[in-house]
């Protein structure tokens, strides 16, 4: 037995058809779906807001025609909702600006301003500018291996006594490597040769760079000083750089690191970061437009490969607002 029900709908897109009452209307166009069979052309029953109100007799056969249309519409709506929720969670490109990122970080320095900051992956200096705007007295060390960007950084900060520019990439051991990119000075340059065909981006240019482990730099150049803040944005090489901190990780009060599509290329997971920081007694937060979101335990739900920034706050090193 065929299930039936009757429903009304106000229609604005129609094709020619003449109803018994003499009103010329159009048959509903359902995107790329098949046109409704003639026996399913609805009857006009008055109007609403200037549009004809149609009465449908919904049968299983009619629903067969409608289902693809409904699924497409529902999928589009759900995707829009998903993107909005992800944005509020701080996930996805453009979810938060550099200003918002550092505003989240600065909340942990309300009791004591940072005196020594490390910007790993300085690029053209936008993050360093945000640090000195908020904390002008802080000393900053920038690590940036791109020769093109080093020149830009020298022009911006070369005369500032509190800013040191180091032409190195960070990893878990010292040596030489290649910095890969799509164009000179790129903000997505990486020690990993990324595959970005799906964005029509060719990662086919590179330059030789010197790589160091931060622990050695910390011991030799920073005299094993306490480090208030470290920002890591090195396009998939963050985990290896953190491993290169060695004993220096115990001297750091706050880290910020990026996680996202680059970790697909480096084959690293949020789980790796979570347990590394847990072993060193750090508390994790996700940066969001609404403020830092605490992450008290690991979950596979955090394995979202959309650009996301996290904060790791030491539970034992110094007095911070947590």
Sign of CA dihedral 90, 96, 99, 101: positive
**Cα 65–chain centre separation:** 38
DSSP E strand stretches across 150-196: 163-166, 169-171, 175-181
Q: How confident is the model at residue 184 (pLDDT cuts 50, 70, 90)?
A: very high
Residue 45: φ, ψ to 5°: -135, 80
pLDDT reading at 1 higher than 50: no
Instruction: Give me 237's structure tokens.
Output: 């090489």
Q: How confident is the model at residue 187 (pLDDT cuts 50, 70, 90)?
A: very high
pLDDT at 95: 63
pLDDT reading at 90 higher than 70: yes
pLDDT at 114: 96
Residue ranges per domain, the chain?
5-70, 98-314
Contact assessment for residue 120 and residue 230, using Cβ atoms and an 8 Å cutoff: yes
Beta bridge partners of 258: 309
- CATH superfamily assigned to domain 98-314: Vaccinia Virus protein VP39 (3.40.50.150)
35-65 pLDDT, tens digit per residue, is 444 445 455 555 556 665 555 555 677 677 7
Which of the two residues, 21 and 165, has the higher pLDDT score? 165
Q: How confident is the model at residue 30 (pLDDT cuts 50, 70, 90)?
A: very low
Q: Please state the rounded mean pLDDT for residues 311-321.
A: 78
Distance CA 129, CA 223 (A): 25
Q: Please state the rounded mean pLDDT for residues 211-229.
A: 97
Distance CA 313, CA 254 (A): 5
């Amino acid at each position: 037995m065929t299930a039936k029900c009757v429903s009304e709908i106000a229609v604005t897109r129609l094709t020619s058809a003449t109803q018994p009452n003499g009103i010329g209307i159009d048959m509903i166009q359902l995107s790329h779906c098949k046109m409704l069979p003639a026996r399913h052309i609805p009857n006009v029953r008055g109007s609403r807001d200037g549009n004809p109100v149609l009465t449908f007799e919904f049968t299983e056969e009619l629903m067969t025609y409608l289902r693809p249309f409904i699924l497409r519409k529902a999928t589009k709506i759900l995707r829009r909702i998903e993107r909005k929720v992800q944005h509020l969670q701080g996930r996805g490109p453009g979810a938060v600006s550099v200003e918002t990122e550092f505003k989240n970080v600065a909340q942990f320095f309300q009791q004591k301003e940072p005196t020594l900051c490390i910007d790993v992956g300085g690029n053209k200096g936008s993050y360093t500018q945000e640090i000195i705007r908020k904390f002008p007295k802080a000393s900053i060390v920038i690590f940036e291996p791109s020769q093109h960007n080093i020149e830009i950084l020298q022009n911006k900060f070369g005369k500032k006594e509190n800013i040191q520019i180091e032409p190195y990439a960070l990893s878990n051991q010292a040596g030489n490597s290649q910095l890969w990119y799509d164009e000179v000075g790129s903000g997505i340059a990486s020690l990993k040769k990324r595959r970005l065909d799906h964005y029509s981006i060719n990662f086919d240019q590179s330059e030789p760079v010197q790589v160091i482990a931060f622990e050695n730099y910390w011991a030799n150049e920073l005299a094993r000083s306490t480090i208030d803040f470290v920002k890591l944005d090195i396009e998939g090489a963050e985990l290896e750089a953190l491993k290169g901190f060695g004993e220096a990780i115990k001297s750091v009060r706050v880290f910020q690191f990026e996680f996202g599509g680059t970790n697909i290329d480096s084959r690293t997971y949020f789980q790796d970061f979570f347990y590394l920081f847990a072993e060193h007694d750090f508390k994790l937060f996700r940066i969001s437009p609404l403020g830092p979101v605490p992450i008290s335990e690991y979950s596979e739900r955090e394995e979202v490969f959309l650009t996301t920034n996290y904060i790791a706050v030491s539970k034992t090193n110094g007095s911070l607002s947590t």
